[in-house]
Amino acid sequence: MKNIVWRLGVAAMLLAVGACPARARLGETAGDLQKRFGPPLKQLKQPGATDLVQNQYLNHDLLIYVTLYRDTSVVEHYLKLTAAPVNGAPLVVAPLPRELATAILQAAAAGAQWRQMSETDVDMKFARDDQKALAVILKRDRIPVELRICDINFIKALAEPRKN
């Protein structure tokens, strides 16, 4: 009986990871993203920031925001929805299952490993061991609801003083 329960658990985990919707990846171009998701649902541009764009995609019940800097993905933001929105219905954010967050992080590992740095009531922070990306899972009422992954070089560039 234990063996059957163990096998069912492993099968359920593999199905959860294998059935995970497509994910963006740091370093992809807008063209790569369009091939993966189709055209963005929305595209937001900051006034005065000509090389910074945020695209919004929907993959089943996963809302994905990708920030592109000079046409390269530098930030990914994932929200699980209760259901795919229909006819302009409001978006309702659902808890982000640990299995889904883990699958997204694995897809964003680029051959490296993620290490959990800390966990509080409001977030869980991770760093890739190749020191090329950081991730945070944000919580609402101690329940994980969104995942953000960011290219460290982009963070460093934001922190540098601007040259006039």
Domain boundaries, the chain: 23-159
Q: Which of 51-55, 140-144, 147-151, 156-160 has the lowest mean pLDDT?
A: 156-160
- In the chain, what percentage of residues exceed pLDDT 90? 60
Residue 161 scores a pLDDT above 90: no
Q: Specify the pairing of strand 133-140 against strand 114-119.
A: unpaired
Average pLDDT over residues 97-122: 95
Q: Output the pLDDT for position 25.
A: 86
More confident residue, 14 or 30: 30
Walk across the sheet containing 114-119 and list its strands. 42-45, 52-59, 62-69, 72-80, 143-151, 133-140, 123-128, 114-119
pLDDT in tens, 78-103: 999 998 778 878 889 999 999 999 99
Query: Using the 8-state DSSP alphabet, how is residue 22 labeled?
Result: P
Residue 34 scores a pLDDT above 80: yes
Residue 126 scores a pLDDT above 90: yes
Residue 76 scores a pLDDT above 80: yes
Beta bridge partners of 119: 124
Q: Output the pLDDT for position 67.
A: 95
Q: What are phi and psi of 55, to 5 degrees?
A: -105, 145
More confident residue, 142 or 18: 142
Q: Are the beta carbons of 145 and 96 closer than 8 angstroms? A: yes
The beta-strand segments (E) located in 46-132 are 52-59, 62-69, 72-80, 114-119, 123-128
Residue 162 scores a pLDDT above 80: no
Give the integer Cα–Cα distance in Å for 69 and 153: 11
| Structure-token pair, residue 139 | 């919580």
Average pLDDT over residues 111-121: 95
Q: Output the pLDDT for position 88.
A: 77
Q: Output the pLDDT for position 106.
A: 94
More confident residue, 86 or 126: 126
Residue 1 scores a pLDDT above 70: no
